């Protein structure tokens, strides 16, 4: 039977890269009948609005969410500014696609999670890598038991420092910004997705700050281990202090998943397609004149091709719009999974700071005290 569809009035909160990407995809979706944009910077709003065919533009997310045309919302502000628009959407009772994380503060994340659940809001969180074919295939093999009982997972993520610098420059509180909370969470989410059904009980980690420390009071890299109640081990490391000239546009990842009857290894370093040029590219993440070599495909949202964004962020946006318009299922992360991911990354940072293992679940008050 053909699925019936209802019209969508979409509010996009935040007109940065992600708001633009998702807005362009939404403008082409057959169920989207109206698009509103809330962007604080009027110059940026003027640039983005025509590209996403916005019907209404404002600097106030409150004004946009209160519009009668608004039936759902994408929260695409800076990471530390998610809470206020989420609260406004909860008050209206509308479905949301929230960029990760729910909040950068664990207390606020716990509060937001409870309010969303109590209000029975249909909300999912943008862990875009779930929509790439390789991770969907990996999830399926773990889900169907091809590896037996998974006993060991490893992940190693490298990023050039452009993302770190960008994040530290946009905050007044560097203690809320870390490689694990902002970027390591993507690899962690994929691996925890493959470990679904297992309960983490302890975290042990260490960190280094020789690059971002002197410049921004920040962290270069974190490495550690998560232990589960059945003895399963997840070993992970994350560095976002690679030189700007590191060829991966953003993410370069290697994952290994070992079980009692099989093993799965995923090379997601993007070294299979290498672009070398004599003139700097004008697209990608914060183009830099010194970056002349690129691992193509390493920009997590996807790639621009033939005038459209192609890849996981486009697929994720379409999947969510299909969920809102037709009630179809999506592979997107739940709000519970997003809060758990934040707890685990905060636990990594806390263990590294104290240089002792940290028991789970993590008490948000303990994190606040440490900060």
Over residues 17-45, the pLDDT tens digits come to 999 999 999 999 999 999 999 999 999 99
Residue 197 lies in a domain: yes
Residue 177 lies in a domain: yes
DSSP state of 248: B
pLDDT in tens, 162-211: 889 988 988 888 888 899 999 999 999 999 999 999 999 999 999 999 99
Domain containing residue 101: CATH number: 3.40.50.720
Report the chain's mean pLDDT, rounded to a whole number: 94
Whether 281 and 138 share a structural domain: yes
* R_g of the chain, CA atoms, integer Å: 20
Q: What is the pLDDT of residue 79?
A: 87
- Structure-model confidence comparison of residues 2 and 105, the more confident one: 105
Whether 118 and 22 share a structural domain: yes
Whether 197 and 346 share a structural domain: yes
Q: Is the pLDDT of residue 272 over 70?
A: yes
Q: What is the pLDDT of residue 287?
A: 63
The encoded tokens of residue 193 equal 């997705």
Q: Is the pLDDT of residue 1 over 60?
A: no
Q: What is the pLDDT of residue 5?
A: 75
pLDDT band at 352 (very low <50, low <70, confident <90, very high): very high
Residue 360 lies in a domain: no
Q: What would the mean pLDDT of 273-287 be, rounded to a whole number?
A: 78
Q: How far apart are CA 116 and CA 120, in angstroms?
A: 6
Whether 177 and 275 share a structural domain: yes
Residue 74 lies in a domain: yes
Whether 348 and 327 share a structural domain: no
Give residue 225's domain range: 132-300+341-352
Q: How far apart are CA 167 and CA 154, in angstroms?
A: 26
Q: What is the pLDDT of residue 191?
A: 98
Q: What would the mean pLDDT of 116-136 be, rounded to a whole number?
A: 97
Whether 201 and 259 share a structural domain: yes
Whether 285 and 147 share a structural domain: yes
Whether 163 and 287 share a structural domain: yes
Q: How far apart are CA 222 and CA 240, in angstroms?
A: 9
The encoded tokens of residue 76 equal 């695409």
Residue 227 lies in a domain: yes
Strand, coil or helix: 107: helix
Closest CA to 360 of 153, 175, 200, 215: 200
Q: Is 31 buried (19+), middle (13-18) or exposed (0-12) by CB count in 10 A?
A: middle
Whether 137 and 220 share a structural domain: yes
Residue 366 lies in a domain: no
What's the structural domain count of the chain?
2
Whether 141 and 184 share a structural domain: yes
pTM, entire model: 0.93
pLDDT band at 70 (very low <50, low <70, confident <90, very high): very high
Domain containing residue 193: CATH number: 3.30.360.10
Whether 137 and 116 share a structural domain: no
Residue 193 lies in a domain: yes
Whether 123 and 139 share a structural domain: no
Buried b (16+ CB within 10 A) or exposed e, 55-91: ebbbeebeebbebebbbbbbbbbebbbbbebbbbbbe
Residue 362 lies in a domain: no
């Amino acid at each position: 039977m053909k699925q019936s569809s209802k019209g969508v009035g979409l509010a996009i909160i935040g007109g940065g890269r992600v708001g633009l990407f998702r807005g362009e995809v939404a403008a082409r979706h057959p169920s989207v009948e109206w698009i509103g944009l809330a962007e604080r910077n009027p110059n940026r709003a003027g640039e983005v609005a025509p590209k996403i065919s916005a019907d209404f533009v404002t600097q106030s997310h409150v004004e946009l969410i209160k519009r009668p045309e608004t039936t759902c919302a994408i929260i695409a502000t800076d990471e530390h500014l998610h809470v206020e628009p989420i609260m406004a959407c909860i008050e209206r009772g509308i479905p949301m696609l929230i960029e990760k994380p729910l909040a950068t503060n664990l207390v606020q994340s716990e509060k937001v999670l409870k309010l969303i659940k109590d209000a029975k809001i249909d909300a999912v969180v943008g862990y875009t890598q779930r929509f790439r074919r390789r991770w969907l295939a990996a999830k399926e093999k773990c889900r169907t038991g091809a590896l037996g009982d998974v006993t060991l997972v490893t992940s190693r993520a490298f990023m050039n420092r452009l993302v770190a610098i960008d994040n530290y420059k946009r905050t007044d509180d560097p203690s809320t910004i870390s490689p694990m909370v902002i970027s390591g969470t993507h690899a962690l989410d994929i691996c925890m997705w493959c470990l679904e059904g297992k309960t983490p009980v302890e975290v042990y980690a260490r960190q280094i700050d020789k690059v971002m420390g002197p410049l921004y009071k920040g962290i270069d890299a974190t490495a550690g281990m998560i232990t589960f109640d059945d003895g399963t081990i997840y070993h992970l490391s994350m560095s976002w202090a690679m030189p700007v000239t590191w060829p991966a546009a953003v993410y370069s990842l290697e994952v290994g998943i070992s079980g009692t009857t099989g093993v799965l290894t995923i090379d997601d370093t993007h070294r299979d397609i290498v672009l070398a040029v004599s003139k700097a590219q004008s697209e990608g993440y914060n183009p830099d004149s010194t970056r002349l070599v690129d691992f193509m495909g390493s920009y997590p949202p996807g790639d621009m091709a033939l005038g459209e964004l192609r890849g996981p962020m486009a697929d994720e946006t379409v999947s969510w719009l299909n969920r809102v318009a037709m009630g179809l299922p999506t592979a997107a992360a739940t709000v519970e999974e997003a809060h758990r991911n934040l707890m685990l990354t905060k636990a990594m940072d806390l263990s590294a700071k104290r240089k002792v293992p940290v028991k789970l679940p993590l008490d948000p008050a303990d994190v606040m005290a440490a900060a």
